[in-house]
Amino acid sequence: MDFIKEIQEIVKKELCSVNSCHDWEHTERVYNLAMHIGKIEKADLEVLALASLLHDVGRKAEEETKGKIDHALKGSEMAREILEKYGLNEKKIQKICHCIETHRSRANRIPESLEAKILYDSDKLDSIGAIGIGRIFSFAGHIGAKVHNKGVNLNEVEEYSLDDTAWREWELKLKHVFSRIYTDEGKRIAKERHEFMEGFFDRLNKEVDGEL
């Protein structure tokens, strides 16, 4: 794949203005994880490499339209256009587009191929563990939320409010990522990252209560 460097540059440019949770560095981490899992699970690494590099290429359109455009669908269209220019064969393009279309957990599209499952896992794994902690505190800071709000009824908290904290994101969403991972290697990594994050919030709550 002599054009992979050029694809990296295209994606880097596309992602330079998006929120730090989905920036080029996120794509790089997802790519690294996908390659690691892909080797162990014996996936088609060419499909996986291109799918992971291009998976969030439609992000800018979703952010600019405040969520009206689904970045997974837009990204799949953009990926097809880019890959056709480089002369990739139609079968591979279809496989890559399937991975990109199904990587978004809120959409009701199910990853069916091994490569799509690995991309899904890699993308979700980047939201937990040490990097997950970094991402949720960074996001809370970005929207001006508090550092911590143990004791608040999290179900009553509105998104993007002062109480939309890292703690809320963990309790309501990220705690469940672990149970939605498809591949065996993904599950092994998810278990470790989940336990690390659980331990972090246990400790944070003890510190807040003056116990540590």
Interface with Fe ion (CB under 5 A), residue total: 2
Cα–Cα distance for residue pair 200/135, rounded to 1 Å = 14
Cα–Cα distance for residue pair 195/81, rounded to 1 Å = 41
CB of 116 to Fe ion, least distance (A): 13
Judged on CB neighbours under 10 Å (0-12, 13-18, 19+), 57 is buried
Q: Which is nearer to Fe ion, 72 or 157 (CB)?
A: 72
The one segment of 50-58, 134-142, 151-159, 203-211 that binds Fe ion by CB under 5 A: 50-58
**Using the rule CB under 5 A, which residue among 56, 62, 115, 121 binds Fe ion?**
56
Q: Which is nearer to Fe ion, 23 or 163 (CB)?
A: 23
Cα–Cα distance for residue pair 205/124, rounded to 1 Å = 25
Q: Which is nearer to Fe ion, 18 or 133 (CB)?
A: 18
Cα–Cα distance for residue pair 204/77, rounded to 1 Å = 43
- Residue 140 CA, chain-centre distance (Å), reads 17
The one segment of 9-17, 91-99, 115-123, 133-141 that binds Fe ion by CB under 5 A: 115-123
Q: Which is nearer to Fe ion, 119 or 140 (CB)?
A: 119
Cα–Cα distance for residue pair 122/127, rounded to 1 Å = 9
Q: Does 123 bind Fe ion (CB under 5 A)?
A: yes
Q: Given the rule CB under 5 A, which residues bind Fe ion?
A: 56, 123
